């Protein structure tokens, strides 16, 4: 079985309660967030995250000519 393709890595900053406070392109983004909000270094941790991949949309199925729902198009 082939593994699905992974997105690029990001970095997450978690506070000491385990809440994701920032997701950035790299550690520098998260460290800038910590500095901006005055978070002491012993109150957060950084972790590598997989970046979300965009969902691939699929067109809705089109009804065939013989399929008409009752009440539609009657007026």
pLDDT tens digit sequence for 23-34:
999 999 999 999
pTM: 0.60
Q: For the residues of 2-51, what is the DSSP string, one character each?
A: PPPPPPPEEEEEEETTS-EEEEESSHHHHHHHHHHTT--GGGEEEEEEEP
pLDDT tens digit sequence for 14-73:
999 999 999 999 999 999 999 999 999 999 999 999 867 777 787 778 877 665 655 555
Q: Please tell me the distance from the alpha carbon of residue 30 to that of residue 61, in angstroms, as a whole number.
A: 43
Distances (CA, A) of 1 to 4, 6, 41: 9, 15, 42
């Amino acid at each position: 079985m082939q593994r699905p393709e992974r997105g690029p890595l990001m970095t997450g900053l978690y506070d000491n309660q385990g809440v994701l406070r920032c997701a950035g392109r790299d550690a520098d983004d998260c460290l800038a967030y910590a500095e901006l909000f005055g978070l002491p270094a012993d109150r957060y941790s950084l972790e590598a995250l997989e970046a979300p991949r965009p969902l691939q949309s699929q067109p809705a199925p089109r009804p065939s000519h013989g399929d008409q729902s009752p009440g539609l198009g009657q007026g």
